[in-house]
A and B are shown apart, each in its own frame.
Chain A
Amino acid sequence: DQQVKQNSPSLSVQEGRISILNCDYTNSMFDYFLWYKKYPAEGPTFLISISSIKDKNEDGRFTVFLNKSAKHLSLHIVPSQPGDSAVYFCAASKGGGSQGNLIFGKGTKLSVKP
């Protein structure tokens, strides 16, 4: 039973354009959501997070949107750069913060072409 789903295994985008990575969840108890970025042979790196009391959080080129009614969140990268090419994981937790058991999706591999 997968509680966090990333239905697109891969995404290819041209440099300078917008990348949109999607994530759906099934557990309505989740109240904190995070995105991680992972390069090969490295551990995941925290990118951006959002609490369920918000619907948008922005950090530079990265914006996360949360639609609680649809149990859906998305990560927007604008403009996309070749260095953004990596696997992106969506994660969710209960309890109001990032501490505790994070439930991860399977990841989406983003390729940004020059």
Chain B
Amino acid sequence: EAGVAQSPRYKIIEKRQSVAFWCNPISGHATLYWYQQILGQGPKLLIQFQNNGVVDDSQLPKDRFSAERLKGVDSTLKIQPAKLEDSAVYLCASSAGQFYGYTFGSGTRLTVV
């Protein structure tokens, strides 16, 4: 079974620029998550999708972050404009169901300079 695919692996941008991350979950997984992991911290949920609907986006900074899940499969996370404190690893995960652990992708490491 193919894992969760994310791209790009690394991205360096200047503050106030925009950036987008892409995620392709495991085939058939209805639930998709975006997590932000700042260095030295545990991952923190940004947004959860069930198929193409948003279940939880309470911790998404909506003034600068946006996310969509196209046709209930792939997803993109966008930051516009980026701030220095957005430097982190952005992890995408998908899940087969309630009692299955998430499968995470390898993440995108964003550096904002």
Contacts and interface: CB of A to CB of B under 8 A. Distances in A.
A89 interface: yes
A42 B43 CA distance: 13
Question: Main secondary structure on chain B at its contact with chain A?
Answer: loop
Given A43-B93, A89-B42, A106-B42, A100 B48 contact: yes
Nearest to B40: A106
B91 A97 contact: no
B95 A99 contact: yes
Given A43-B4, A106-B40, A101 B103 contact: no
Contacts of A105: 42
Interface of B: 4, 31, 40-45, 48, 55-56, 91, 93, 95, 97-107
Contacts of B104: 36, 43-45
A34 B106 CA distance: 19
Contacts of B56: 100-101
Contact of A98 (B41, B99, B107): B99
A105 B40 CA distance: 10
A4 interface: yes
Interface in A33-55: 34, 36, 41-46, 49
B98 A104 contact: no
B95 A98 contact: yes
A100 to B, nearest CB: 7
Counting from the closest, the 8 A-B pairs by CB-CB distance are: A104-B42, A46-B101, A43-B104, A97-B98, A99-B98, A97-B99, A101-B45, A104-B43
Contacts of B103: 46
B29 to A, nearest CB: 11
Contacts of A107: 42
A106 B41 contact: yes
Contact of B48 (A34, A91, A101): A101
B93 to A, nearest CB: 7
Nearest to B50: A99
